[in-house]
Amino acid sequence: MAVVQKWREGMSSDNVKGLVLALSSSLFIGASFIVKKKGLKKAGASGIRAGVGGYSYLLEPLWWAGMITMVVGEIANFAAYAFAPAILVTPLGAVSIIISAVLAHIILRERLHTFGILGCILCVVGSTTIVLHAPQERQIESVTEVWDLATEPGFLFYTALVLTAVFILIYQFVPQYGQTHIMVYIGVCSLVGSISVMSVKALGIALKLTFSGTNQLVYPQTWAFTLVVITCVLTQMNYLNKALDTFNTAVVSPIYYVMFTSLTILASVIMFKDWDGQSPTQILTEMCGFVTILSGTFLLHKTKDMADGQGLSTSLSMRSLKHEEDGGFGEGIPLKRQDT
């Protein structure tokens, strides 16, 4: 009770709003995967399946309901960045994985095994740890203040490093190694994603201030951040689709989550100075919470097909056998996506 009381007293109203929006976003996004999958199954039963090139799901209302649910979730996630620091909002994206796993167990009858439950518990523990020790959101009165933060030497140096790395990856490594090394595509997505989240947060703050009566649309900085958001999101979508089309989704998802979240937290710490005023103990606790979430996410993805009472090595061996029977070549979870 004392911890809860201390948390209520120490957490600002903006942080609470950001927390509620982030959790709502995870709920909607996690549920959207299940609704869309139900729609895809229903459409596939009466037409050509999407996996073999069919588009009958576009006529299925259930699939569109899932899409609308996902859009609502993304809007809530966008709004969350306007109220709370990225170090609080971004890791909570793991909650959508829990929602998806639990709903799949209930609705789609996809069994949630013992290790899956343990993964969910780890995600909840890690998320709770971060929420209890999250830094206060910086009070900003104008989008020009965000622009000043973005043009400080520290963040400009980080941005220069990111852009240099992205250009090297796109023009040097993508043509040669894009189809064989998963880190190339995911590296581009994660690096660009860290910049896009900072721009999304800046744009969200501008809109929040505008709706509260202080018009920020008259400032050119608002439109500059908007342009950065559009450019970064389009780049992310392009290379994430390439990664998903080339490699196994079970491999892409956890690696992308780890890289994207880590780089986003680093960018936020540099730009918004989230850790200023926090003790080393608080910072270390937040990092422990983040590592706990990563562990839970990895466990959920790595053992998603395991049955109760089945060992991890046995599960991976069975995956390997099943994959070989289908014409694959990998061991355990195949890195490359296999066309059948």
pLDDT value at residue 146: 94
Mean pLDDT across the chain = 82
Name the band, by pLDDT with cuts 50, 70 and 90, for residue 223. Answer: very high
pTM across the whole model: 0.79
The answer to the question of residue 316 being in a domain is no
Position 98 pLDDT exceeds 50: yes
- Count of domains forming the chain: 2
Does residue 91 sit in the same domain as residue 49? yes
Q: Which of 277, 296, 324 is the last residue of a domain?
A: 277
pLDDT value at residue 22: 93
* Interaxial angle between packed helices 153-168 and 249-271, expressed in degrees from 0 to 180 and rounded to the nearest 10: 150
pLDDT value at residue 3: 47
Rounded to whole angstroms, the Cα distance separating 217 from 211 reads: 11
102-150 per-position pLDDT tens digit? 888 888 777 777 888 898 899 889 998 998 888 887 788 899 999 999 9
Does residue 167 sit in the same domain as residue 46? no
SS (H, E, C) 158-193: HHHHHHHHHHHHHHHHHHHHCCCCHHHHHHHHHHHH
- Are the C-beta atoms of 194 and 267 separated by less than 8 Å? yes
pLDDT value at residue 335: 60
User: In Å, what is the CA distance from 56 to each residue of 32, 44, 46, 59, 64?
Assistant: 18, 7, 8, 6, 12
Place of tokens 């422990």: 288
Does residue 95 sit in the same domain as residue 225? no
Domain span at 83: 11-110
Q: Which of 226, 252, 277 is the last residue of a domain?
A: 277
